[in-house]
Amino acid sequence: MTLGPWAEREALKWAQQQGFVLVQANYHSRYGEIDLIVQYASEQSLLFIEVKARSKTAYAQAAETVSIHKQRKMLKTALHFLHAHPHFQQYYCRFDVICFDFYQRFAKSLQHEFSNFTYDSQWIENAFTFDPEFINL
């Protein structure tokens, strides 16, 4: 398994351990993609989650790679999802980022058992919020 799918699988496991249920993985629209959409089982809460994983680099940590451009794309994609699934429109919506930062350098496109590597993980709740002016609707 390559790094991206591994990270998304681990993030989903983490969310499920916190009581979230998968609504959809890898939701695509013409605006972009959202890695995970999960619902909190006992509440009307919907999380749109971006998953980022990076091998050791001098450039940036995983959390720093969620640019303003990516945030806009996620917000527009979330609106597309809500329009396509109106039963979720009354839910509280949150945008989170789950990050995996590895201490080793490796080619992320190669098959590895990434669980065997040392990494830090971070779940950033409310990483950004919905703002109509921000996404230029």
Per residue in 63-113, pLDDT (tens digit) is 566 678 888 899 999 999 999 999 999 999 999 999 888 876 665 555 566
| Any domain includes 34 | yes
| Domain of residue 59, CATH code | 3.40.1350.10
pLDDT at residue 131, as a whole number: 62
Q: Is residue 73 part of a domain?
A: yes
Q: Domain count of the chain?
A: 1
Percentage, residues of the chain above pLDDT 90: 50
Domain residues for the domain of 66 are: 3-128
In a domain, 63, yes or no: yes
| Residue entry with tokens 């993980």 | 121
In a domain, 135, yes or no: no
Asked whether residue 133 is assigned to any structural domain, the reply reads no
pLDDT above 70 as % of the chain: 75
pLDDT band at residue 117 using 50, 70 and 90 as cut-offs: low
